[in-house]
Every structure is written in structure tokens, then in C-alpha cells.
């Protein structure tokens, strides 16, 4: 009898792909944002990391999050996307990413339950 390891439909890793104007999360990473109304985007310059924190409609309605810090997220069945060219350019400058024709970069992401945020480590590129 062969020792088959059966393939899973669900990707095992949370992956963030950074394009010139957006951050796209794979299906696995998107699972943390299914109930998000908007997200907060944070940049840790010291550790070269991006944090993406889901915010619910109820949290927004409490009025504690300034409107200019609220970023739209589009959640689809197989991915989600946050568009913010200015933020991506800031992160790219910090980590030395250069965008040419259709250029993109993939990074492993890790959910941090303490911060309730997905952490993208710009020091560890995938592929």
C-alpha cells in the first residue's frame, strides 16, 4: 500500500502579496477578515512589519477610530484586497521593494491574537 498524503483544498500558509497599489491576502489569510467592515494598517519601521487589523462595523460606530485611519477591505471567496498606494509605497521604501511592470512580492503572514492583527514580515519574502 502506498503512503499517500492527501492534498488539502485550504492553503496551509497565510500569504500576503504586495503589489504597487494594494495588498492581497490569500484565502487562508482572508479568513481573519470575514467580519471586518474596514481595517487598520500599521507599519513597524523597527521590525520591518505591516499589521492589518480587522475592525467591525460596531467598532467603527463607537467613534474611537478616526476616519482617516479606516481602510477599505474587499473580501471575496478566495482572497481579500486592501488598496492604498501611499501606504504600500511607504512600506516598499522601508523594505527596499521596487515595482516595475506587473511586479509583486509575496510574504508569509502570521495572525497575532494578542494584537488581533495579521502581521506581514517584510524581511521574509516567499518564493
To the nearest whole percent, how much of the chain has pLDDT over 70? Answer: 96
To the nearest whole percent, how much of the chain has pLDDT over 90? Answer: 85
Q: Residue for cell digits 479606516?
A: 70
pLDDT band at 126 (very low <50, low <70, confident <90, very high): confident
Contacts of 58 (CB under 8 A, 6+ apart): none
Q: Residue 8 above 80 pLDDT?
A: no
The residue-averaged pLDDT of 12-19 equals 92
Contacts of 34 (CB under 8 A, 6+ apart): 75
Cell readout for 123 is 524581511
Contact 16, 25 (CB under 8 A): yes
Q: Residue 21 above 70 pLDDT?
A: yes
pLDDT value of residue 17: 97
pLDDT digits (tens, 9 = 90+) for 94-123: 999 999 888 999 999 999 999 999 999 999
Amino acid at each position: 500500500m502506498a503512503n499517500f498524503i492527501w492534498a488539502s483544498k485550504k492553503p496551509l500558509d497565510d500569504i500576503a502579496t504586495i503589489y504597487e497599489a494594494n495588498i492581497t491576502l490569500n484565502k487562508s489569510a482572508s479568513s481573519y477578515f470575514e467580519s471586518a467592515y474596514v481595517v487598520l494598517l500599521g507599519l513597524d519601521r523597527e521590525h520591518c512589519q505591516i499589521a492589518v487589523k480587522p475592525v467591525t462595523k460596531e467598532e467603527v460606530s463607537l467613534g474611537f477610530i478616526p476616519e482617516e485611519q479606516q481602510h477599505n477591505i474587499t473580501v471575496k471567496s478566495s482572497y481579500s484586497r486592501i488598496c492604498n498606494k501611499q501606504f504600500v509605497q511607504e512600506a516598499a521604501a522601508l523594505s527596499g521593494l521596487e515595482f516595475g511592470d506587473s511586479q509583486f512580492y509575496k510574504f508569509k503572514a502570521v495572525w497575532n491574537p494578542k494584537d488581533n492583527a495579521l502581521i506581514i514580515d517584510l524581511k521574509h519574502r516567499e518564493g
